[in-house]
Chain A
Amino acid sequence: MTDQTTNPASAGMSDQKSKEAYFTASQGQLIWARFKKQRAAMIAAGVLVVLLLSGLFAPFLSPYNPTVAGKNDDYTNGAPQIPQFCDDAGCSWRPFVYGVERERSMETNFRWVTKINTDDRKYLSFFVEGWEYKLFGFIPMDTHLFGAPDGFVHLFGTDATGKDIFSRTLHAILTSMQVGTIGVFIAFVLALVIGGISGYYGGWIDSVLQMITDAVRTVPAIPLFMAVAAFMPPELSAESRFFYISMILGLIGWPTLARRVRTHLLTERNQEYVLAAQLCGASSGHVIRRHLLPSFTSYIIVDLVISFPYMVLSETALSFIGLGLKDPVNSLGVMLQNVTSADVLLNYQWYFIPVFFFIALVMAFVFVGDGLRDAADPYSDNNK
């Protein structure tokens, strides 16, 4: 290794090796190499992974059930509790929060008032047993990452019914991601079929399909979402509402994707390498599988990542207006809807904490999508 600088032959070897590695790298490796160079996109990717993981492991990470079952009756509209190690009574090696009491007396004008009892320390510990849940929907567990075994701890405070906002936020990320995933998936399948037919056959079929796609694209999406969502029978259960909303997002979100699929197909179909494969006697199935698909899967993946935040945003907008998911369900839109009252603005600012998670999630997706787009473009290096 040390003589690499002194020995020109060896330097040439390593140079050649890196060249060889470059030329034999798969497309995935090339994209990853280019993606790694972009600092903003890498940071965003880190944030995104953290958010996704915290969504996936939401039941494990959250100390309380995010529904009414996990509410804390003694601490409604409670401020965030910050675990501390020291107070006037001395320090402890374990973090603690103070216990709260509710009281009503002559002094408080006979209203319920929550009082913090600084003598009552509730110690936090890791891997506490609490409410039962199913991790990933099938592993029954009741261990949580942290909690206060003999009391309650609310990192982000509580809402009007005493539900833990921290737990709700984590579950909301999960729900919004699920809605987005199902929506993107449905949109993608539709886009593949419609864009595929359009791009493969070309000619008048292409013109007609493009006209329809463009017409659907012209209608403002959110009003259209609203119109479709308004047909949902109001007595639907929370779960079926969830699936309806995801389906609606998918059914309306396809035109942009379909257009891109079509463009990819049209341009790739007329490339020389396709002609070469056909001249070699390859069947169309073989050409599509081995040559066409690999040539644009990376673009399609990028398109999917880019369209994801729009799905999340649409879900949020719908829920915000009151046509999407409703309160017992925890989605980011529902959480955002909760911040709109003046009472919250003036007195309970901790309701805003989920908003920052929402912004972070959308921003992370946009940055990663952008970075991926640049990385997937083989000519981006030449432009710089």
Chain B
Amino acid sequence: MLQFAKFVMTRAIMALITLVIVSLVVFSLMELVPGDCAERYLAFKNTQGSSIQIANELEAERARLGLDRPFLERWGSWIAGAFQGDFGDSCILRVDIAQLLGDKFWISLALCVASLALAYTIAIPVGIIAAASSSAFLNNSLRLFSYLGLALPNFLLALMIMLFATVYFGNTLTGLFSPEFRDADWSWDRFVDLLSHAWLPIFILGWSATAFALQTVRALMSDEIGKLYVTAAAARGVSGGKLLWRYPARHALGPIVNSLGFDLNRIFNELPIVALILTLTEAGALLIEALARSNDQQLAGAIIFLLTASIVTLNFLTDVLLAVLDPRVRKSIIR
């Protein structure tokens, strides 16, 4: 038990270190943007008609916002806030970022996790069957499908479905909420409404994830199926689905659990593009808004940091899960 606690602690510390490095990268990126918050505020004030002496005011504004402090100090205070969920104010929109993101980030995360779940619900049984069967046709078509998952752009799939829906159902399927629920408080009805809209982004995000997951599951399973312990089990008279589930599938499970973090990473990559096409109102769309239109580095930095933080968290959780499932992993780390 103590050993296990030690393992979890090591992993948690490693995850924290990763997050700190990531925050340094993200924060430096935010700093690299030409112009800082003080200039933005002053530019805004200028449009409001107050006359100002630029040089003096700029210095005063920098001092007020704490921008005159050294880089490392500002990074320290940013990351201290970030771990408490406080990312400061966006200087373009002049509102609190945590408030602005709020639900939107959780909706995005839920969409991505749902598509990840969808991917593996399909990939695990199909991948196992494909690995067990010797049909060249099945294997080749699965391979083609997997590569298509990479090459066929998500937005194209989204566009096709939207076109189809518009022509045949007269419904564009865009957005995440019906108009009457858009700004409403959370309720059961709103949740049902979200579900009725969310299946399309989940399906599109899950499409290429499924293709990749299929390939992973199939490769791992076909590696394991050839091994001697499977032959031994078959010789003892275990056969069919029972043989596959109880022996090779368990061994293949480890690497699959391990790769979940990278799958989530890949889904996050596609989130902004899908959000753009389907005009979703969540974090991916906010990210594009912040980067491509308003150049809002505080908001963008916060979103990228949160996305990465959820990947790191998932990696940590899968590591722990793997250790629970597989004692070899626990021992190898602590040794």
Interface residues of A (CB under 8 A from B): 40, 211-212, 214-216, 218-224, 226-231, 233, 309, 313, 316-317, 320-323, 336, 339-340, 342, 345-346, 355, 358-359, 362-363, 366-367
A367: chain B residues within 8 A (beta carbon): 147
Instruction: Find out whether the CB atom of A228 lies under 8 angstroms from the CB atom of B151.
Output: no
Distance, CA A358 to CA B162, complexed state (A): 21
Q: List 25 A-B contacts (CB under 8 A).
A: A211-B21, A216-B22, A218-B261, A219-B26, A219-B308, A220-B268, A221-B269, A223-B268, A223-B304, A223-B307, A227-B29, A227-B304, A231-B32, A320-B155, A320-B273, A321-B272, A321-B273, A355-B156, A358-B153, A359-B148, A359-B151, A363-B147, A363-B148, A363-B151, A367-B147
Distance, CA A226 to CA B29, complexed state (A): 11
Partner among A220, A222, A226 whose Cβ is within 8 Å of the Cβ of B292: A226
- B 257-303 contacts with A by CB, 8 A: 261, 265, 268-270, 272-273, 276-277, 287-288, 291-292, 295, 300-301, 303
The smallest C-beta distance from A299 to any residue of chain B, in angstroms, reads 18
Total contacts A to B, CB within 8 angstroms? 125
A218: chain B residues within 8 A (beta carbon): 18, 22, 261, 265, 308, 311-312, 315
Let me know if B324 is at the binding interface, CB within 8 A: no
State whether A230 and B295 are in contact (beta carbons under 8 Å apart), knowing that A215-B22, A219-B304 are contacts in the complex: yes
Distance, CA A214 to CA B319, complexed state (A): 15
Instruction: Find out whether the CB atom of A346 lies under 8 angstroms from the CB atom of B308.
Output: no
State whether A226 and B152 are in contact (beta carbons under 8 Å apart), knowing that A220-B265, A321-B276 are contacts in the complex: no
State whether A220 and B159 are in contact (beta carbons under 8 Å apart), knowing that A214-B18, A227-B291 are contacts in the complex: no
Distance, CA A138 to CA B163, complexed state (A): 45
Instruction: Find out whether the CB atom of B291 lies under 8 angstroms from the CB atom of A230.
Output: yes
The smallest C-beta distance from B75 to any residue of chain A, in angstroms, reads 15
Let me know if B17 is at the binding interface, CB within 8 A: yes
Let me know if B25 is at the binding interface, CB within 8 A: yes
Which of A219, A316, A340 has the most chain B CB within a 10 Å cutoff?
A219
State whether A321 and B21 are in contact (beta carbons under 8 Å apart), knowing that A345-B159, A355-B156 are contacts in the complex: no
State whether A321 and B288 are in contact (beta carbons under 8 Å apart), knowing that A316-B153, A366-B150 are contacts in the complex: yes
Instruction: Find out whether the CB atom of B21 lies under 8 angstroms from the CB atom of A212.
Output: yes
Distance, CA A358 to CA B156, complexed state (A): 12
Let me know if B33 is at the binding interface, CB within 8 A: yes
The chain A residue with its CB closest to the CB of B264 is: A220
Partner among A214, A215, A223, A342 whose Cβ is within 8 Å of the Cβ of B269: A223
Instruction: Find out whether the CB atom of A346 lies under 8 angstroms from the CB atom of B273.
Output: no
Distance, CA A362 to CA B25, complexed state (A): 30
Instruction: Find out whether the CB atom of A231 lies under 8 angstroms from the CB atom of B34.
Output: yes
State whether A216 and B311 are in contact (beta carbons under 8 Å apart), knowing that A222-B272, A226-B292 are contacts in the complex: no
The smallest C-beta distance from A317 to any residue of chain B, in angstroms, reads 6
The chain A residue with its CB closest to the CB of B290 is: A230
Instruction: Find out whether the CB atom of B151 lies under 8 angstroms from the CB atom of A226.
Output: no
Instruction: Find out whether the CB atom of A340 lies under 8 angstroms from the CB atom of B155.
Output: yes
Q: Chain A interface secondary structure, helix, strand, loop or mixed?
A: helix
Distance, CA A346 to CA B167, complexed state (A): 9
The smallest C-beta distance from A167 to any residue of chain B, in angstroms, reads 22
State whether A366 and B147 are in contact (beta carbons under 8 Å apart), knowing that A220-B307, A226-B272, A340-B277 are contacts in the complex: yes
The smallest C-beta distance from B136 to any residue of chain A, in angstroms, reads 11
A229: chain B residues within 8 A (beta carbon): 291
Instruction: Find out whether the CB atom of A223 lies under 8 angstroms from the CB atom of B287.
Output: yes
Contact with A along B103-127 (1 / 0, CB 8 A): 0000000000000000000000000
B304: chain A residues within 8 A (beta carbon): 219-220, 223-224, 227
Partner among B22, B147, B292 whose Cβ is within 8 Å of the Cβ of A323: B292
State whether A233 and B300 are in contact (beta carbons under 8 Å apart), knowing that A211-B18, A223-B272 are contacts in the complex: no
Instruction: Find out whether the CB atom of A231 lies under 8 angstroms from the CB atom of B21.
Output: no
Instruction: Find out whether the CB atom of A366 lies under 8 angstroms from the CB atom of B151.
Output: yes
Instruction: Find out whether the CB atom of A211 lies under 8 angstroms from the CB atom of B268.
Output: no
Distance, CA A40 to CA B141, complexed state (A): 12
Instruction: Find out whether the CB atom of B33 lies under 8 angstroms from the CB atom of A231.
Output: yes
Instruction: Find out whether the CB atom of A211 lies under 8 angstroms from the CB atom of B276.
Output: no
The smallest C-beta distance from A343 to any residue of chain B, in angstroms, reads 12
A228: chain B residues within 8 A (beta carbon): 29
6 new A-B contacts at CB < 8 Å, known A220-B269, A355-B156: A215-B21, A216-B21, A218-B265, A222-B270, A226-B291, A323-B291
Distance, CA A269 to CA B92, complexed state (A): 53
The smallest C-beta distance from B130 to any residue of chain A, in angstroms, reads 16
Partner among A227, A339, A366 whose Cβ is within 8 Å of the Cβ of B300: A227
A221: chain B residues within 8 A (beta carbon): 265, 269
The chain B residue with its CB closest to the CB of A228 is: B29
The chain B residue with its CB closest to the CB of A222 is: B269
Instruction: Find out whether the CB atom of B277 lies under 8 angstroms from the CB atom of A230.
Output: no
Distance, CA A340 to CA B156, complexed state (A): 8
B155: chain A residues within 8 A (beta carbon): 320, 336, 340
Distance, CA A316 to CA B147, complexed state (A): 17
- B 162-176 contacts with A by CB, 8 A: 162-163, 166
Instruction: Find out whether the CB atom of A219 lies under 8 angstroms from the CB atom of B156.
Output: no
State whether A220 and B308 are in contact (beta carbons under 8 Å apart), knowing that A226-B288, A323-B291 are contacts in the complex: yes
Partner among A223, A320, A321, A358 whose Cβ is within 8 Å of the Cβ of B303: A223
- B 27-68 contacts with A by CB, 8 A: 29, 32-34
Which of A216, A218, A359 has the most chain B CB within a 10 Å cutoff?
A218
B292: chain A residues within 8 A (beta carbon): 226, 230, 321-323
